[in-house]
A and B are shown apart, each in its own frame.
Chain A
Amino acid sequence: MSNQDDLAIETHSLTRRFKKMVAVDSLDLAIRRGEIFGLVGPDGAGKTTTIRLLCAIMSPSDGSATVAGFDVEKDAEEIKKRIGYMAQRFNLYGDLSVMENLNFFADIFAVSGEVRQERITQLLAFARLTEFKDRRAAQLSGGMQKKLALACTLIHEPEVLFLDEPTTGVDPVSRREFWDILSDLHLRGVTLFVSTPYMDEAERCSRVGLMFEGDMIVCDTPEQVKDLISGELIELRPDDLRRARDLVAELDGVLEIQTYGDLLHVFVDSAEKRMSALEDRLKKEGIAVSGLRQTRPRMEEAFISLIRKRIAEGRTNNPVSSESD
């Protein structure tokens, strides 16, 4: 483990229980300053609880965590001066204008004088909200609301920024724009802790953690995570997805099958060896196949595979759908 000073976030067996349910189970994390850390996982995996624990607005049931060098239980207020937090829901004052929202948070974080004027001007430009500064926050589009929320959490230049599904419900263009802003922040050295249900966003992180039912199943760079998948991936588009899936499952060398829209993703021990057998079998049954190719597994396939493996190991009672479309 690296030097204590280099760590923005560190947890030891961090656990949070709600009555009988374990929302976060013995989480061990070490996130260096300047990282973009992506927390991914299905709904109910414990992502939001983890972020709330780290933001010191929820007490751990067990274990400990430090953020920006301060303990979440003992020095909660010190942490709050140094972090920014953007909750999943729109969390600004809808009946106040863009400017009023920014001014309010500047007051609360004691940002005053010239610095304040400068920063607000900068943030407005940065979030491309300058021309909307007098508009009521509730009247902004979803994407603009997210950017305003982000601007408000940046008013005190936090060292660590926590973002809980910041782009959920935002159109693709705004999503890209939002991530451009996050990249800027990353370049400035801000530590980013982002939870997201989108795998393409996970790919943009320096490291990702996959959470499932309170456990961190894997935590590594996107490349390493993808390498965890056993076998090679064949992608195809059969005209009868259901039958094709059942037929392919019986073939030799097939490790796992996932569906993705009307695509079939087949993991095999060797693509070279199995591709033709697969094609022949489907043809014989009269199933037309297009787009047959070997492809590199993406984060998406990797995560589904990892979660399935976890379920197969019988370490959970919760059935999870393998469909990811």
Chain B
Amino acid sequence: MWRRIASMIVKDFQQFLRDKVLLAFILVGPTAQLLMMGQATASETQHLATAIVDQDRTSDSRALIVALDNLKTLDVTHYLDSVEQIDALLDRGEVSVAVVIPSGFAATLASPPDRATVQVLIDGSSVLAAYAALGAAEGAIASMGAEIAVERAQSAAVSGAARRTLDLVPTARFNPEMNHSYYLMPSQLSLIVLIVTLLVSSVGIVRERETGTLEQLMVTPLRRAELIVAKATLPTLVALVDFLAMLGITMWAFGLPVKGSLALLLFVTLVFIVAQQTWGLVISAVSATQQQAVMLIFMTGILSVAFSGYLVAVENMPLVMQWASAFFPIRHYLSMLRAITLKGASFVHIRSQLSALVLLGAASMAVSVRSFQKRLD
């Protein structure tokens, strides 16, 4: 039994390594895409010219301005006297961001539970820059609020109000730089893993069907389970290696932080690959030709982009779409990937997503094993 599986795997590897087009697609394509995307988002979202309208003119407002200026994302270039001047600057593209600190800012800060408000205006024509600026400003403002709360907690007697402000702390700490390429990288990684897994697994089977070798294998003692296990091995390894390579690139070239455990990250990725494989099996079962399989994979890819939270955060989707997204393994994987890399989540934090992923994988495995028979009819 193991011998048959092993020889099948060896054969698959030989074929894979001789398929130069597939190799290029899997290695060169994603690498180039990651590099370009990272480069574009990094240059587009750094040192954005920022105008400040400080109507408060207190030490607290100045502290906020310094905090904003210290961000890699924002460079304070203009100090304006009135809000009316902002539009012209934004129109001319001289600044991408404007921050308005209203009078009474410091006073409000000093009197909890009132919450101080800061207005942020953004040039929306550059979406990435806008997101980055907004995220950065939000981060800086939130962390400043937190610091003030901490100070207050230390100096004064611990009052109920101070404790409530302290509750904000974890939100404030989450990715204060809000570097957009950091946010985008995990999405891209998850999509690469998805496409590579589906492509290698279904092409591996459909090609055998197309050339007639699958029919030949059916008339051998090779069992169905053996064939499935053997056929899952190559895509799993390839996708895992590809993931590691791409993760390496993002870490090395763009400094994507992996705050959580790398082992957990790999484990979660492995679960995702296996869950996705079963979908690949379903695709191979219904595709007569490689062309059909590739089209189905593209469709899966497009739907996955829509439902994974790649472009629109799941929380911001219409409710129906949010429910639908629960059936996409990539949604759970991506949220875990982000949580582990950006937030440093541990096993406890991702339990529910991981169970959802396992459940989905098991369900589609049941379907796929049924649909994959050692018979032609």
Whether the pair A95, B220 counts as a contact (CB closer than 8 A) is no
Min distance, Cβ A300 to any Cβ of chain B, angstroms: 29
Assess A91 versus B377: contact at CB under 8 Å? Given A108-B4, A108-B7, A108-B222: no
Min distance, Cβ A19 to any Cβ of chain B, angstroms: 12
Q: Does A94 contact B (CB under 8 A)?
A: yes
Q: Does B155 contact A (CB under 8 A)?
A: no
Docked pose: A87 CA to B215 CA in angstroms? 8
Whether the pair A77, B221 counts as a contact (CB closer than 8 A) is yes
- Segment at the A interface, from B13-21, B98-106, B241-249, B257-265: B13-21
Docked pose: A80 CA to B6 CA in angstroms? 20
Docked pose: A52 CA to B217 CA in angstroms? 13
Whether the pair B212, A91 counts as a contact (CB closer than 8 A) is yes
User: In this complex, which of B6, B215, B223 has the most chain A Cβ atoms within 10 angstroms of its Cβ?
Assistant: B215
Q: Does B173 contact A (CB under 8 A)?
A: no
Q: Does B127 contact A (CB under 8 A)?
A: no
Q: Which residues of A contact B213 (CB under 8 A)?
A: 91-93
Min distance, Cβ A186 to any Cβ of chain B, angstroms: 21
Assess A107 versus B221: contact at CB under 8 Å? Given A58-B377, A59-B375, A95-B19: no
Docked pose: A94 CA to B6 CA in angstroms? 20
Number of residues on chain B facing chain A (CB within 8 A): 26
Q: Does B370 contact A (CB under 8 A)?
A: no
Number of residues on chain A facing chain B (CB within 8 A): 30
Docked pose: A59 CA to B377 CA in angstroms? 7
Min distance, Cβ A35 to any Cβ of chain B, angstroms: 20
A-B contact count (CB 8 A): 75
Interface string of A6-49 (1 = CB under 8 A from B): 00000000000000000000000000000000000000000000
Q: Does B219 contact A (CB under 8 A)?
A: yes
Docked pose: A93 CA to B4 CA in angstroms? 16
Whether the pair A96, B15 counts as a contact (CB closer than 8 A) is yes
Docked pose: A87 CA to B208 CA in angstroms? 13
Nearest 8 Cβ contacts at the A-B interface:
A107-B7, A91-B212, A85-B219, A89-B212, A57-B218, A91-B216, A108-B220, A95-B18
Q: A57-B219, A91-B212 are in contact. List 14 more A-B contacts (CB 8 A).
A: A59-B377, A87-B215, A90-B212, A92-B213, A92-B216, A96-B11, A96-B15, A104-B11, A107-B7, A108-B8, A108-B217, A108-B221, A110-B4, A110-B221
A–B pairs, 27, beta carbons within 8 Å:
A55-B219, A57-B219, A57-B374, A58-B375, A80-B218, A80-B220, A80-B221, A85-B216, A85-B219, A87-B212, A87-B215, A89-B211, A89-B212, A90-B211, A90-B212, A92-B216, A93-B15, A93-B213, A95-B14, A95-B15, A95-B18, A95-B19, A96-B11, A96-B15, A107-B7, A109-B220, A110-B4
